[in-house]
Amino acid sequence: MSYAESMKRLEEIVAALEAGGVDLDETLKLFEEGSKLLKACQTELADAEGKVEKLRLEDVE
Amino acid sequence: MAGEPVEVGQFVALARMALVNEPYLSNAAIIGELTKLTLARSGHSYFTLTDNTGSIDCVFFGGNSNFESQDIKIGDKMVALGGIDVYVKTGRMQFNAKRVQPVKSIGELEKTRKELIGKWRADGTMDRPRLVAPQIPKKLHIITGGGSAALSDMERLITDRWPGFSYTIIPVLVQGNEAPSQIIRALDFAGRNADLIIVGRGGGSPEDLWSFNLESVCQAIIDCPVPIVSAVGHESDFMVSDMISDIRASTPSNAIERVVPIKDELLALIGQATDRLDFAIDRLFSGYSDKISNFTIRLSAAPMRGISNARLLQTNIANRMSSAIERGFMKQKNRLTAFSSILNSTNPTRVLERGYSMAIGQDGTPITSVAGLKRGDPLTVVLKDGKVQTEVQE
């Protein structure tokens, strides 16, 4: 799932939980999914970091 | 005064040496109209460049393919790069070209550009679905002039938005003859390695920016499997690459603003989502636990309520009983009162008050009949105001 999709799904989960009316089993499932998505988003952020690479045109074959 | 005569050949050779050793003449670019062109079978090109004030014969050894591939025709304005030379055998001065390139007027360029746009409008290329940039590019490749102001602007902006963000730079020439092929090569490489590409350059003259209006460069952008941001020149410069790329940025800096997120903002969003998730869960669970404790109270209160109901019932009955009893007492009491008033009315002292008297025998009971009385029996006669002792005489 892309970062954008993860955040969108997360928003849905939070909205569903905030609205209430979800039974306990479903709540636990949603919470677990939400926690996983949060972790994935944080990992995604970390993955974008590293170093700046400068290539030479001769090396790009 | 001229000295000894020298041989012609020697003289021309000297003249040649003087000319070719002059740096300004031996390494030059000359611009003019192509007025004569012979593409010899040997592969060499013989041509003449002319303008209002002068003209020179030129030779380009093995140059035929250069004229053909660039479609340079008589009447075109063109540039030849090379140096001066003298053909000693004939004494003719000529320009020894190493490279030639056509110079198209902006009018001609504009016409080609319009035709290209028209073609891509007609065949649906302009309406093709565009790729979407990843929200967090992890393999961003930037193709632009190495050491250019545009590149340092972009680098600075990336660091501002996301310190430590990783990306790759492929420096290329962005103007001149070599630019298109370098840009295309870089695009090809990035198409195989990047997840997002920015291709562009800073501002310049329309001719400087022209690579981004070329069919070859634009076709490479169209064919690239990775989303491409076209970022050329200033706000007002509108290139064909801008029209056919996946994302158009008005300037190189704008490209960065559009595709490199601000890390702190993402962190804030994630933090918000975390808080909301925690809060929603807390609330739901406290809702559940409220419900549970509510049930617990109701459950444990149920027998109590039975008892208290029974108690209530008992109390009720007891109350009813005691009030019934009380009512009974009241009845009795009323009857007693009634009796006592009747009794009162029949009280013998009242009779005495009316002037009667009463005789009481030895046993203290009133004597109501002569029967049983004998002479000499003591009697007590009770009067209104006292008692008299007497006895039966007869």
> Is the model's pLDDT at B169 over the cut of 60?
yes
Quick one: how far is CA B28 from the chain centroid?
56
Question: In this structure, is the dihedral angle defined by the CA atoms of residues B69, B74, B80 and B84, taken in order, positive or negative?
Answer: positive
**In a 10 Å sphere around its CB, with 0-12 CB exposed, 13-18 middle and 19+ buried, how is residue B358 labelled?**
middle
Same topology between domain B8-103 and domain B108-264: no
DSSP code per residue over B152-210: HHHHHHHHHHSTTB-EEEEEE--SSTTHHHHHHHHHHHHHHH-SEEEEEE----TTTTG
CA distance A11 to B208: 47
Distance CA B154, CA B143 (A): 11
CB contact under 8 Å between B280 and A14, yes or no, is yes
Q: What's the pLDDT score for residue B305?
A: 67
Alpha carbon of B82: minimum distance to chain A alpha carbons (Å): 26
Please tell me the predicted confidence (pLDDT) of residue B110.
Answer: 86
Q: Compute the nearest-CA separation of A43 from chain B (Å).
A: 11
pLDDT in tens, B90-106: 999 999 999 998 887 77
B108-264: CATH number: 3.40.50.10550
Rounded to the nearest integer, the mean pLDDT of chain B is 87
Q: A14-52 pLDDT, tens per residue?
A: 888 888 777 778 888 888 888 888 888 888 888 888 888
List pLDDT tens digits, range B237-274. Answer: 889 999 999 999 999 999 999 999 999 999 999 998 88
pLDDT score for B348: 63
Q: Are B172 and B186 contacting, i.e. CB atoms less than 8 angstroms apart?
A: yes
- Any B CB within 8 A of A42 CB: yes
Q: Does B271 touch chain A (CB under 8 A)?
A: no
B8-103: which CATH topology?
OB fold (Dihydrolipoamide Acetyltransferase, E2P) (2.40.50)
Provide the pLDDT confidence category of residue B351 given band limits of 50, 70 and 90. low
Closest-CA residue of chain A to B179: A57
User: For residue B153, what pLDDT band results from cuts at 50, 70 and 90?
Assistant: very high
Helix (H, G, I), strand (E, B) or coil at B316: helix
Closest-CA distance, B195 to chain A, in angstroms, reads 11
The structural domains of chain B, with segments of one domain joined by +, span: 8-103, 108-264, 348-391
User: Can you read off the two tokens belonging to residue B74?
Assistant: 């008589």
Measured in degrees and rounded to the nearest 5, phi and psi for residue B347 equal -60, 125
Residues in B touching A3 (Cβ below 8 Å): 134-136
Note whether B166 contacts A50, CB cutoff 8 Å: yes
> Which residues of chain A lie closer than 8 angstroms to B172, CB-CB?
57
The DSSP call for residue B125 is G
